[in-house]
Amino acid sequence: MPPTRPQPHRSLLALAALVIAVALFGPVRAMAAPATSEPADPAAAGSEMTGGKAAVLGLVEGVTEFLPISSTGHLLVAQRLLGIGETDATKPAADAYAIAIQAGAILAVVLLYFRRLRSMVVGILGRDPEGRRILTGLVLAFLPAVVIALAFERPIKEHLLGAGPVVIAWAVGGLVILLVAPRWERHAGGRALETLSARQALVIGVVQCLALWPGTSRSLVTILAGLAVGLSLGAAVEFSFLLGLVTLGAATAYEALKDGSLMLDAYGWFNPLVGLVVAFVAAAVAIRWMVGYLQRHSLAIFGWYRLGAAAVATALIWAGTI
């Protein structure tokens, strides 16, 4: 009997389970501890933000959201460098702002993938089986991350939203892209997105939970998971973008309902609007560039970039800048 070829998605699932256990269940005791941080102060938070800083954060969000380099990590470092959200009193508004401007990146995906979204809507009506199949896959891939995120939101924010965890994730992700991804790209099944099964979508969804560790990059893990289950690189990238539309849309809506009023009290309407518009334009440009680039090249450039970002962030930590 010929030896069976190892299935990469099984190792991805095992890694996802390990990281979730270490990152989330370890600090779960903190959920029962009484809060000791100072109350949020919208006035203090508002004094930290300017129109220029809002635009810079929007640019960082838009460029990095769908590239496999982690928008959360970049926004965290950018906020530190700009002096935003440096205290417990100002951090809630800054965190809410960082999530709210994701709406700009979401709108960019809606614009660029409108035909695909339309086919999914038609699929709901029973007139496009392929669109309905993709929509079903998105729903299945979305569910695992939302369950874990809602269950462990507090320990994630308290223990992983720091420069140290981000640097680790940047470095590990860079090494994965350079050492592991090339083999998966060579052995990828080359299957079109329309062939994605419910089981494969669920695998991608479970692996997406890895991105709950800031700095990991939701785009990176979902693209790699797509390759692991047999999709072509182009199909894996498209599914990652569409899944990001669902996942980020839910996160943005949740944050808007939970802390949106705090953000508006601190920053008003102008600064969030500036960040959203800049994020929209930057994301549209970044998505179009990435799709075109990956038609001729591998993911390697993103691996080298992540290692460079980890090195720069480490130097900033040692220098006491962040």
- Give the model confidence (pLDDT) of 61-109 as tens digits: 999 999 999 998 999 999 999 999 888 888 888 988 998 999 999 999 9
Write down the pLDDT at residue 238.
96
- Give the model confidence (pLDDT) of 2-46 as tens digits: 444 445 555 555 545 444 444 444 433 333 333 445 677 788 877
Four-CA torsion 93, 98, 104, 108, nearest 10 degrees: -160
Q: Tell me the whole-structure pTM to 2 decimals.
A: 0.84
Calpha distance 170→73 (Å, rounded): 8
Type and span of the H or E element at 283: helix 270-294
Calpha distance 288→248 (Å, rounded): 19
Token duo for residue 222: 């979902």
Q: Where are the domains of the chain?
A: 43-318
**Mean pLDDT of the chain, nearest integer:** 85
Sign of the torsion angle spanned by Cα atoms 209, 212, 215, 218? positive
Write down the pLDDT at residue 40.
78
